[in-house]
Amino acid sequence: MKGIEHEIIATALPYWEAEATIVRHFFASKPTREEHIFWLKAQLWKELHPVDGYFTGLQKELNNLVRSFAEIDKTQEFNHYVLMADVLEYLLGHAVSAEDTFQLPQEKKLGDIRRSYANSGSAVDKAAVLVTEGGGARMFREGRKLRGGRFEKMIAAAMAVVYQDEKNHYQEAAREAAGAVRNKQDLAQMKKAVKEVSLQRVYMRNEMFKQPLTNAEIKSCLASHLRKRS
């Protein structure tokens, strides 16, 4: 089982590190206020919209939001939303609502791919989607390193909290995923699903951060990380 867990994680790692590269490039480019607002709005949309048909725990919380609004900052998922929303509120100068968020085209494509696997009826496909969620927390790992003034410190502090909460989730997901693998065919299918979803995550993240990498640079980045894993 440990060997299968390792193979699943190793399959996703190059894509997660590509996400990390995108985030590092963005923050190193000294982004404008508008560019920060852009990625924050896109990330908050993601926080509010879990994968249909699979992440039912958060969906139930969202459905109960009106009845439990006073409790919004008392669960981990909502606490993460509030942390990021506070940063956006600082930039916008007013309270953030759902209308301040938006779904980008690459995020929509990612959602379509994830739902196709999550709703396929296959336990292997569902488990693969779970492994890919969060991109190994690489965005938050990089964001917590940000240095600068008050605004940068706000981002770093929020990212640090989320990273601490989520940094081991992929290991838990890999253990669960390994339990769904019964034979070599299952493992091959899981790897295929992990690669497809994870690649789209890279394009999603690149769009969110205003394309710091070209498509050619993304391919080169992935190839480099894949060589390191081989």
- pLDDT value, residue 49: 82
Report how far apart, in Å, the C-alpha atoms of 152 and of each of 3, 58, 114 are.
40, 29, 32
Helix axes 215-229, 184-208, angle to 10 degrees: 140
What are the residue ranges in the chain where pLDDT is below 50?
A: 53-74
- For residue 99, the domain's CATH number is 1.20.910.10
Specify the pLDDT at position 208.
98
> CA dist 47 to 82, 84, 145, 184, Å?
10, 9, 21, 35
pLDDT confidence of residue 66: 42
- Alpha-carbon span 117 to 177, nearest angstrom: 14
The pLDDT tens digits of the residues spanning 209-225 come to 999 999 999 999 999 98
Task: Provide the residue range defining the domain that includes 169.
Answer: 2-229
- How many domains is the chain partitioned into structurally? 1
